[in-house]
Structure 1
Amino acid sequence: LFTSIPAELSRNSKRYQVGSVIENATASRLGELLMDMADSMTVNFSYHANDPSVGFSLHADYDCFKLFLADTGLFVTLAFMDRDYTENVIYQKLLSDKLAVDLGYVYENAIAQMLKSAGNELFYYTFQEEIVKDEDGNKTIRNYEVDFLLSRKDKICPIEVKSSGYKSHKSLDVFQEKFSSRILQRYLLYTKDVRKDKDIFCLPAYMTGLF
């Protein structure tokens, strides 16, 4: 379960698939083992908020979660443990700010670590929307995910994590359409400088610890 954390994050699925790691296993059956992992303080759990409103823990699905490592350096080592450190391109890319888009889960783990270190519990939200695809009225289902949710005052703050640009933030936009009355402020955390895109605060990842 522990060594599969990077692989499960890279799948970009809406949850940690316990059954894909241990055959026929479910989160509810492994509850005690998962709690032991949490108690070890080497991992951070992010639970699905079934109702994105203040009091996430009241509406969380504790069988639907993502797992992050509490130390992003260890996460990178674990993700590429089959390669020699000196030949590992990811370290060079991290240092030169050229991390590929498909490695965005490294940033997501770093954000999770910083949010947790700042005293926040981790929650996220996934949802679907029907989209009219063509003139004949054919529809398609599109999946969206808000990477992290914070509770502030009597409102919530959705956060999207980007490893590259800021111009595309569809999940934040659709979330705003659905839950505008619940939102205090929207944030996008990325690798560039502080800026504002309409009402979205775009902040460099290193400022996460200030939340």
Structure 2
Amino acid sequence: MADIRRKIYDRMLEWKRRDRGASALLIDGARRVGKSYIAEKFARSEYRSYILIDFAKAPQTIKDLFDKDADDLDLLFGKLSAYYGTPLHERDSALIFDEVQMCPSARQLVKYLVQDGRYDYIETGSLLTLKQNVRDIVIPSEEEHLEMFPLDFEEFLWALGDETTIPFLKERFDTLTPVGQALHRKIMNDFRQYMLVGGMPQAVAAYAGNKDFAQADRIKKRILNLYREDVSKFARGYESRVYAIFDEIPGQLSKKDKKYRLTSLNKKARFREYEDAFVWLSEAMIVNTCVNATDPTVGLSLSRDHTTQKCYMADTGLLVTQTFVDDSFADNRLYRDILFDKINVNEGMVMENAVAQTFRSAGHKLFFYSRADTDHRENHMEIDFLIRRDRKICPVEVKSAAYRKHSSLDKFMNKFRGRLGQGYVLYPKDVMVKDGVVHAPLYMSIFL
């Protein structure tokens, strides 16, 4: 895979310089998001030597070392050095525990490895909080936890060789200055490509070479198949419910309000019956769950209602492929519609998913606001996202270029007047401020 620059690398550098061996770095993320690649790239560049132990492939004799030799670290290090043919240098070597969930005893030993202090440790994994992956072990408190997400729009542009656009856009966003028609059209075209390809590193690398959507689509189908295989392995006992929720995501997002309705799976379905399935998909970081904050004046987390939620795909490119997963690339209408700016409900689904993905990558937890009141229409409101910005809650609406009004946003701002920050509309047009609401292009969601 071609070298792809990732922002998480700088955060890893910060950890190394700050902690100096006082903690192990744990990188959590979905399968195929690039955890192993970035861990090895970092160790190769920042240390004199490193050993990568892939617990998905390591022989049982290596896994057994973390039980049998746990009391003799000198012997443990000597055996690992000999097996992998790599000398270890005190305070200048790293050990990578790749897919650490496959060897719980190695994760438990991290506490004592960190206390020993000779080397640095980088753990990577998926499904790290599943009961079967932490059963009978004590989770070490000496872990610095980093979440890794698919590439954001800036990283996607880096992969295409563009390192100047985002700094320029940041200045325009900060000053609320229009980008200009010609440049806006070009960047929206880039953002449409980003929505279609997504941010999974293998798909981006395949596309960056010669703009081959078909090759990227084939890679994304393989990733979706891998996720389905993981369900059968790690969601035993409720895998049918996980499959049902996962397969229905495109259909749910294509609806006007995007809320996940379990009655589409079974008219008698109840949230408590499917709760474990939603949690599994969220912990696998395959989806981004967005929950209803019923009273944003008391804090988003304090008023969340998990029974009313939206379920976005963690990667928008995977959503595009999943929507027509049984069709060939040539038959996937979303590619044509989005590339040629045909506004329809499907494009709205993809745009909103891309904003959700951007917000999660930026560290936001996802919340929305929904209140139904058929008797008093002035109280009926739907706000796509609520985010914290400058210590205040900011409502965000995602709109198509054809929209004419934002009545829910206006009602929300009036209802909670004085308690909110800036209101935003993200849409496919250039920067504009109207009636106190900041209208910004979709690609500027990266700055919120």
TM-score when normalising by structure 2:
0.43
The letter for the 2-side match of 1:30 is: Y
Distance in 2 (CA, whole Å) between partners of 1:184 and 1:122 is 17
| Equivalent residue in structure 1 for 2:405, among 163, 168, 177 | 168
Q: Distance in 1 between matches of 2:424 and 2:377?
A: 28
Structure-1 separation of matches of 2:331 and 2:259: 31
- Is 2:439 the partner of 1:210? no
Aligned counterpart, 1:46: 290
Higher RCO (CA 8 Å, separation ≥ 6 residues) = 1
**Distance in 2, Cα, partners of 1:98 & 1:28:** 39
Q: CA deviation at 1:141?
A: 7.8
How much has 1:197 moved relative to structure 2?
1.1
| Structure 2 counterpart of 1:58 | 302
- Residue deviations 1:166-194, cap 9 Å, x none? 53111111111211121210000001111
**Which ranges in structure 2 are unaligned for 5 or more consecutive residues?**
1-244
Deviations 1:125-165 (A, max 9, x none): 0124568xxxxxxx768843100001234421000001223
Which residue of 2 is the match for residue 90 of structure 1?
334
Question: Any idea what SS the aligned residue of 1:15 has?
Answer: coil
Do 1:48 and 1:125's aligned partners in 2 also have CA atoms closer than 8 Å?
A: yes
Alpha-carbon offset, residue 3 of structure 1: 1.1
Contact 1:166 1:202 in 2 (8 A): no
Structure showing greater Rg: 2
1:74 maps to 2:74: no
Matches within 5 A, 1:7-156: 7-13=251-257, 15-53=259-297, 55-101=299-345, 103-128=347-372, 143-156=380-393
Percent identity reads 40
Q: Deviations over 1:83-141 (max 9, x none)?
A: 3321323212212323325631111111101111111000000124568xxxxxxx768
Contact 1:90 1:99 in 2 (8 A): no
Match of 2:153 in 1: none
CA 1:7–1:120 in 2, change beyond 3 Å: closer, same or farther?
same
* Whole-Å separation in 1 of the counterparts to 2:350 and 2:258: 16
Structure 1 stretch 181-190 or stretch 8-17: which is displaced more? 8-17
Query: 1:55-89 CA distances to partner (integer Å, 9 max, x unpaired)?
Result: 21111001111000001011111112243321323
- Cα distance change, pair 179–106 in 1 and its aligned pair in 2 (3 A): same
Correspondence for 1:187 among 424, 427, 437: 424
Match status 1:158 vs 2:402: no
Taking structure 1 as reference, are residues 50 and 142 closer, same or farther at Cα in structure 2, changes over 3 Å only? closer
Distance 1:59 1:142 in 2: 18
Q: Given that residues 383 and 395 in structure 2 are in contact (C-alpha distance below 8 angstroms), is that contact kept between their aligned partners in structure 1?
A: yes
| Counterpart among 246, 257, 266 of residue 2 in structure 1 | 246
What is the SS of the residue equivalent to 2:312?
strand
Q: Aligned equivalents of 2:366 and 2:282: distance in 1? A: 13
1-side partners of 2:286 and 2:359: how far apart? Answer: 15
CA distance in 1, matches of 2:315, 2:335: 15
Q: Is residue 371–residue 382 contact of structure 2 (8 Å, CA) maintained in 1?
A: yes
> Any stretches of 5+ residues in structure 1 without a counterpart?
132-138
Distance 1:130 1:24, change over 3 A: closer
Give 2:437's aligned residue: 200
Structure-1 separation of matches of 2:409 and 2:327 = 36
Q: Which is helix-richer, 1 or 2? A: 2
State the one-letter code of the partner of 1:51: D
Task: Give the conservation status (yes or no) of the 8 Å contact 1:151–1:157.
Answer: yes
1:152 touches 1:184 (CA, 8 Å); kept in 2?
A: yes
Aligned equivalent of 2:143 = none
Distance 1:210 1:143 in 2: 29
- Offset of 1:47 from its aligned partner? 0.2
CA distance in 2, matches of 1:195, 1:13: 25
Aligned residues: 204
Cα distance in 2, alignment partners of residues 128 and 169 from structure 1: 16
Q: RMSD across aligned C-alpha pairs, in angstroms?
A: 2.2
Q: Secondary structure at the match of 1:109?
A: helix
Quick check: which one's strand share is greater? Answer: 1
Cα distance in 2, alignment partners of residues 199 and 107 from structure 1: 23
